[in-house]
Structure 1
Amino acid sequence: MARPVTNAALEELLRAAGYGNAHAAFARQLNHAGRNEGTWRYDAASVYWWLRGRRPGEHVQAAMAESLTRKLGRSVALSELGFGTTNSLGSCVYPASVDAAIDNAERVWIALTKHLGQQASGAFDSGKALQAALGWRYDLRDQMVSRNGRQTVSSTDVQSLYALADHFTDLDRRHGSGSPRTRAVMADFLVGQVTPMLRGTYTDAVGRELMRAAATLSGQLAFMSYDAGAQPVAQHHATLGLRLAKAADDRLYGAHLLANLATQAVFLGHSREATRLVEAAIDGAGRAPASVLARLYATAATAYGQSGERRACQLALAKAERALDKVSADPGPRWAGYFSPAHLAGAALRCLGDLKLYSQALRHAPDALILSSQNTRTRALHTALVAVTHARAGDTDAACAWGLKLVRQDGGIKSARVQQRVRELTTALSPKHPSRQLTKALHALAAVSAAI
Structure 2
Amino acid sequence: MARLVTNAAFEGLLLAAGYGNAHAAFARQLNHAGRNQGTWRYDAASVYWWLRGRRPGEHVQAAMAETLTRKLGRSVVVAELGFGAADNIGMYNYPASVDGAIDNAEQLWTRLAKQLNPQVSGAFDSGKALEAALGWRYDLPDETMSRSGRQQVTSADVQSLYALVDHFTELDRRHGSGSRHTRALMADFLARQVAPMLHGTHTDAVGRELMRAAATLCGQLAFMSYDAGEHAAAQQHVTVALRLAKAADDRLYGAHLLANLATQAVHLGHSRDAARLAEAAIDGAGRAPAAVLVRLHATAATAYGQSGERRGCQLALAKAERALDRAGAASGPRWVTYFSPAHLAGAALRCLGDLQLYSQALDHAHDALTLASENARTRALHTALIAVTHARVGDTDAACIWGRKLAQHASGIHSARVRQRVRELTATLSPQQASPQVNEVLHGLATLPTAA
TM-score band w.r.t. shorter chain:
0.7 to 0.9
Matched residues, percent identical? 72
2:309 corresponds in structure 1 to: 309
1:74 shift after superposition: 6.8
1:127 corresponds in structure 2 to: 127
Cα distance in 1 between the residues matched to 2:116 and 2:104: 17
Which residue type is aligned with residue 284 of structure 2?
G
Which residue type is aligned with residue 237 of structure 1?
H
Supply the RMSD in Å over aligned alpha carbons.
2.6
Q: Are residue 248 (structure 1) and residue 251 (structure 2) matched? A: no
1:381 shift after superposition: 0.4
Larger deviation: 300-309 or 71-80? 71-80
Q: Are residue 98 (structure 1) and residue 102 (structure 2) matched? A: no
With normalisation by structure 1, the TM-score equals 0.82
Which residue type is aligned with residue 9 of structure 2?
A
1:406 corresponds in structure 2 to: 406
Measured at CA, do residues 132 and 121 of structure 1 come closer, stay the same or move farther in structure 2, by a change above 3 Å? Answer: same
The answer as to whether partners of 1:75 and 1:95 remain within 8 angstroms in 2 is: no
5 Å-filtered alignment, 1:242-391, equals: 242-328=242-328, 331-391=331-391
Q: Deviations along 1:285-320, whole A, 9 cap, x unmatched?
A: 000000000000000000000011000000100100
The secondary structure found in structure 2 opposite 1:390 is helix
Q: Deviations along 1:128-161, whole A, 9 cap, x unmatched?
A: 1000000000001101111111101000000000
1:412 shift after superposition: 1.0
1:12 shift after superposition: 10
Q: Deviations along 1:10-38, whole A, 9 cap, x unmatched?
A: 9999xxxxxxxxxxxxxxxxxxxxxxxxx
Measured at CA, do residues 117 and 425 of structure 1 come closer, stay the same or move farther in structure 2, by a change above 3 Å? Answer: farther
Cα distance in 1 between the residues matched to 2:90 and 2:401: 45
Q: Deviations along 1:142-186, whole A, 9 cap, x unmatched?
A: 011111111010000000001110111000000000011211110
1:7 shift after superposition: 5.3
2:39 corresponds in structure 1 to: none
Q: Aligned pairs, how many?
A: 394
Q: Deviations along 1:367-387, whole A, 9 cap, x unmatched?
A: 000000000000000001100
Larger deviation: 333-342 or 262-271? 333-342
1:193 shift after superposition: 0.1
List runs of 5+ in structure 1 lacking aligned partners. 14-67
The answer as to whether partners of 2:7 and 2:52 remain within 8 angstroms in 1 is: no
Q: Are residue 234 (structure 1) and residue 234 (structure 2) matched? A: yes
The answer as to whether partners of 2:349 and 2:362 remain within 8 angstroms in 1 is: yes
1:347 shift after superposition: 0.1
2:110 corresponds in structure 1 to: 110
List runs of 5+ in structure 2 lacking aligned partners. 1-5, 15-47, 62-77
Measured at CA, do residues 396 and 107 of structure 1 come closer, stay the same or move farther in structure 2, by a change above 3 Å? Answer: same
Measured at CA, do residues 329 and 439 of structure 1 come closer, stay the same or move farther in structure 2, by a change above 3 Å? Answer: closer
Cα distance in 2 between the residues matched to 1:74 and 1:144: 24
Which residue type is aligned with residue 108 of structure 1?
L
With normalisation by structure 2, the TM-score equals 0.82
Which residue type is aligned with residue 181 of structure 1?
H
2:394 corresponds in structure 1 to: 394
1:401 shift after superposition: 1.0
Measured at CA, do residues 89 and 189 of structure 1 come closer, stay the same or move farther in structure 2, by a change above 3 Å? Answer: farther
The secondary structure found in structure 2 opposite 1:338 is coil
1:342 shift after superposition: 0.2
Measured at CA, do residues 12 and 418 of structure 1 come closer, stay the same or move farther in structure 2, by a change above 3 Å? Answer: farther
Measured at CA, do residues 134 and 442 of structure 1 come closer, stay the same or move farther in structure 2, by a change above 3 Å? Answer: same
1:434 shift after superposition: 1.9
Cα distance in 1 between the residues matched to 2:381 and 2:87: 31
Measured at CA, do residues 247 and 436 of structure 1 come closer, stay the same or move farther in structure 2, by a change above 3 Å? Answer: same
5 Å-filtered alignment, 1:131-280, equals: 131-280=131-280
1:60 corresponds in structure 2 to: none
Q: Deviations along 1:12-70, whole A, 9 cap, x unmatched?
A: 99xxxxxxxxxxxxxxxxxxxxxxxxxxxxxxxxxxxxxxxxxxxxxxxxxxxxxx99x
Measured at CA, do residues 431 and 226 of structure 1 come closer, stay the same or move farther in structure 2, by a change above 3 Å? Answer: same
